[in-house]
Chains A and B, each alone.
Chain A
Amino acid sequence: MGKANIVLTCGALAVILLGSICTVYVTKTQAKQESLTINNQSFTIDQLFAQTATRQFTDLNFTGIALDDAIRVADVTNPESHQYTIIGADGYQKTVTWDNLQHGLLTKHRQAVFTDLPKAFRVRDVVTIEVKSL
């Protein structure tokens, strides 16, 4: 077996091992919670829908609650002076500004959607919205 073949074999095994370990880690650490935490306060999605204004993005076919309203419900003072990290159950997270939140909604299925940001900023199965000072 030549040197190149040994390098290729070891590389392939390392890649499979790394992918497998990360898959196990991701599966074990995936959050499974019904509630949604905003600014360290816990809400159910029904509570949020009962307390906040509805927002609809007709072109995108999405209906939900206004994300900026949801932040106000969580008693965030001076919301424009903070950044917001939206975290999904799978660990996917995106940090957005107050201005972005005003163009965002949270669906009943807990998906965060924004009209002013690329689709990469859509977070599925939102479990936490962290509030960070600018």
Chain B
Amino acid sequence: MKHMRTIAGIIALGSLWGFAECIIGSWLRDANLPAGSIMTAVFGIGLMVFSKTLFPQRGVQLGMGLVAGTLRLLNPFGGCFICSAIAIMAEGALFEVFWMWVSSDLREVRPVAMQSCLGIISGYILYVGGYTITQILTPLFSSAGFDASNLIAFIPQIFASGLLPAIIGAFTVPVVIASRRVSVSIKDSLYYPVTATIAVASWCLVIANTIILLYL
């Protein structure tokens, strides 16, 4: 039963992340804002840290990344959707690995400056790692193939691009941990209806958005 609650949570939060990537990410790109950095540092890290406070088990964030990445694959608009899907899944896996040694009770991570440090490192590792992994894996799915020299030549740019998500992450992590002090609980009888509604609504909105953009 406990596993079912966790799985429902993974699907709901992963769907919410995927929805944000597809819909809010598109708006940010249209507004010429650094969508990738904001999506990773605000929504990706925010939702994964939030999930960490709810579900201490391992594998939750990896699962969320897989759900969100799959949802991103359904929305072939706004940048390279294959790259985005791979990056989201990679970010879930990287978060899982990096946060393995952080206490499952995040209230133990004190003071706030240390929470900011966690956010900085997470923002940088997730963005740079996700970016690098997409640069390797995306060409493998194409007829051109992967050429290591292309990645090596672009390493300084990738490392530079991690600076903004690192700075944003410094604010995201403390804010999410602080928000957990406000205790919001869902009645047991409402838990599954609420998680199911979040997941279904996220998927329906992304699919509807894709259909609208394709056919209207």
A interface with B by C-beta (< 8 Å): 5, 8-9, 11-12, 15-16, 18-20, 22-23, 25-26, 29, 83, 85, 87, 90-97, 99-100, 116-122
Contacts and interface: CB of A to CB of B under 8 A. Distances in A.
A94 B166 contact: no
Contacts of B142: 116-118, 121
B154 A91 contact: yes
A119 B86 CA distance: 13
Given A99-B143, A117-B142, A120-B135, A85 B150 contact: yes
8 contacts: A8-B121, A12-B166, A19-B159, A90-B157, A118-B83, A118-B141, A120-B82, A121-B142
Given A87-B153, A121-B139, 13 more contacts: A15-B166, A16-B166, A16-B167, A22-B156, A22-B163, A25-B156, A25-B160, A93-B149, A94-B139, A100-B143, A116-B142, A120-B82, A120-B83
B138 A120 contact: yes
Contacts of A23: 160, 163
Interface of A, secondary structure class, is helix
Nearest to B103: A4
A119 B29 CA distance: 15
Contacts of B135: 120
A97 B147 CA distance: 11
Given A26-B160, A120-B139, A94 B124 contact: no
A25 B157 CA distance: 9
A125 B50 CA distance: 40
Contacts of B199: none
Interface residues of B, number: 36
Nearest to A97: B144
Contacts of B157: 22, 26, 90-92
B163 A16 contact: yes
A121 B144 contact: yes
Contacts of B139: 94, 120-121
B193 interface: no
A5 to B, nearest CB: 5
A19 B82 contact: no
Interface in B58-83: 79-83
A80 to B, nearest CB: 14
Interface in B130-171: 134-135, 138-139, 141-144, 147, 149-150, 153-154, 156-157, 159-160, 162-163, 166-167, 170
Contact of A118 (B114, B138, B163, B166): B138
B156 A19 contact: no
Contacts of A120: 80, 82-83, 134-135, 138-139
Nearest to B82: A118
A15 B142 CA distance: 32
